[in-house]
Amino acid sequence: MRIVFAGTPDFAVPCLRAAATRAEVVAVYTQPDRPAGRGRGLAPSPVKQAALELGFEVRQPGNFRARETKRALRDLQPDLMVVVAYGLILPQSVLDIPAHGCWNVHASLLPRWRGAAPIQRAIQAGDAETGVCLMQMEKGLDSGPVLLSQAIGIGADETGGHLHDRLSQLGAQVLADGLGLLRAEIKPVPRAQPEAGVTYAHKLDKAEAKLDWHRPAASLAATVRAFNPWPMAECQLAGERLRVHAAVALDEAHGAPPGTLLRAGREGLDVACGTGVLRIRTLQRDGGKAITAADFLNARQDLRAG
């Protein structure tokens, strides 16, 4: 079984490795190298690095509009194309090239959280569970029929980074199961996504990272978890810009204006919200590293009586 793999970030690497154990990977497509680091030198994607380590041919077209790019893909005579967080839109003319079409590994339980940031949006919304879907791709945004799926619970304190890693491994498992069935000539039966329950996980924006103290504390705590490690929630507090790594919501009534620092102790910095109180436990000052609230207070003795 000849497979073309298309993916770019860390999330896709376990899926690439899983594909390599189930079929012949004839080429790996990934986005072009991008500037990174302080020197802004061109850096390869995690998928490119893994593909080169595995000895696969790597291709990096900027898009699939050119006739020559499509012809080069067609010449590979792929049985299947596996797409995992590739980051480029595939036109119908590309989806039609592989004999079995294109499969996509998506990190949500479709039709909930179609789109670019399903992991973070699930946490931010307070979802109790999420999962991975193996989907037959079609022209619409994550709207194709689901071939296989697997659900997992979201931990009460789970961050976006931790859930990302768990779903990445789960995605590799689900993909391996699907490829195993296809090799055995038992193609998974596609299930059309229901029209009810469709939600969209819009791309993360740094502008969203600033905490609005007028919102409920529970909502802010979920945002803090969802946005760790990127873009990382931030706030203005005690005359400083702070990045918030960890926080919990306290179901506590108060009459203070939102944004008021109610208490500052070893357990955290308690800030009045629209409803409830947000206790900041781990934070980062400008130019510093992540520290506990207790360590922060060692440098800000003026806040201890706050």
218, 219, 221, 226 alpha-carbon torsion, rounded to 10°: 140
Binding positions for (6S)-5,6,7,8-tetrahydrofolate = 108-111
Specify whether the CB–CB gap between 172 and 143 falls below 8 A: no
Please count the other Cβ atoms lying within 10 Å of the Cβ belonging to residue 122.
28
- Which two structure tokens, joined as six digits, stand for 222? 């979920």
Please count the other Cβ atoms lying within 10 Å of the Cβ belonging to residue 226.
24
| CA–CA separation, 285 and 111 (whole Å) | 39
Binding positions = 108-111
Q: What is the 3-state secondary structure (H, E, C) of 61-119?
A: CCCCCCHHHHHHHHHCCCCEEEEECCCCCCCHHHHCCCCCCEEEEECCCCCCCEECCHH
Specify whether the CB–CB gap between 16 and 29 falls below 8 A: no
| CA–CA separation, 291 and 284 (whole Å) | 6
Q: One-letter amino acid identity for 122?
A: A
Please count the other Cβ atoms lying within 10 Å of the Cβ belonging to residue 298.
11
